[in-house]
A = this chain, B = another copy of it.
Amino acid sequence: MPSAVVLLADGTEEMEFTITFDTLVRAGVKCCSAYVPPQTDVNPPAYATGSRGIRIMYDEVFDAARFSPNSYDALIIPGGAKGAETMSNNAGVQDLVREFLAQGKIVGMICAGSLTALTSKLPRQPLTSHPSVKTQLANDYDYSDESVVISDKLVTSRGPGTAFPFALTLVELLCGAEKRDEVRAPMVFPSGTPF
């Protein structure tokens, strides 16, 4: 059974977190949510407060040693400006992004979460993000306006409106195209949906 750690922080876009986590669980991926505190010396509460006020209880507090690519197949970084700022500036998260990719494991970033590519000093490659942070990324990467961009094991996406194709792409990479179709069907997307 593939496994994924999905990061969560105060200010995380709760739709991006929830759509990705839930869709991966539907595919049979063992998911763990890991809370990245705003400062390392803070005693964290039992939940993260999302960008629109939804309070989500996390499974574990983030710890780079515990969530290594030896234990998980994918590392997911959702957006939400404030949450992505916390995650992208966390040295442990930056280390883990490089370690996952170095070991050929999947890293997913969506919305402002894509800023973590820059702070982790990933080399120039194709990626996308929320349009609001495009100028921070366009000089250092081959910036794309596609909804989902796959660059070897780095999967990036744009915002809540692309969270379903982002999550289904992760399902396909972790579990295969058949599983993607199996998970997608009972979600009942409108006819004509382009993913």
User: How many A residues, CB 8 Å from partner?
Assistant: 43
SS class, residues of chain A in contact with chain B: mixed
Give, as a whole number of angstroms, the nearest-CB distance from A1 to chain B.
14
Which residues of A are interface residues toward B (Cβ below 8 A)? 13-15, 18-19, 21-23, 25-26, 31, 33, 47, 50-57, 130-132, 147, 158-162, 164-165, 184, 186-195
Give, as a whole number of angstroms, the nearest-CB distance from A116 to chain B.
18
| Contacting residue for A189 out of B33, B51, B162, CB 8 A | B162
Q: Give complex CA distance A21, B14 in Å.
A: 10
Q: Flag if A25 contacts B53 (CB, 8 Å).
A: yes
Given contacts A55-B57, A131-B186, A147-B188, 18 further A-B contacts (CB under 8 A): A13-B22, A14-B22, A15-B22, A21-B54, A22-B52, A22-B54, A33-B54, A47-B47, A57-B57, A131-B188, A132-B186, A147-B190, A158-B188, A160-B187, A161-B187, A161-B189, A161-B193, A162-B189
In the bound complex, residues from chain B placing their C-beta under 8 Å from that of A13 are 22
Among residues of B, the one whose C-beta sits closest to the C-beta of A167 is: B15
Among residues of B, the one whose C-beta sits closest to the C-beta of A184 is: B161
Q: Flag if B14 contacts A18 (CB, 8 Å).
A: yes
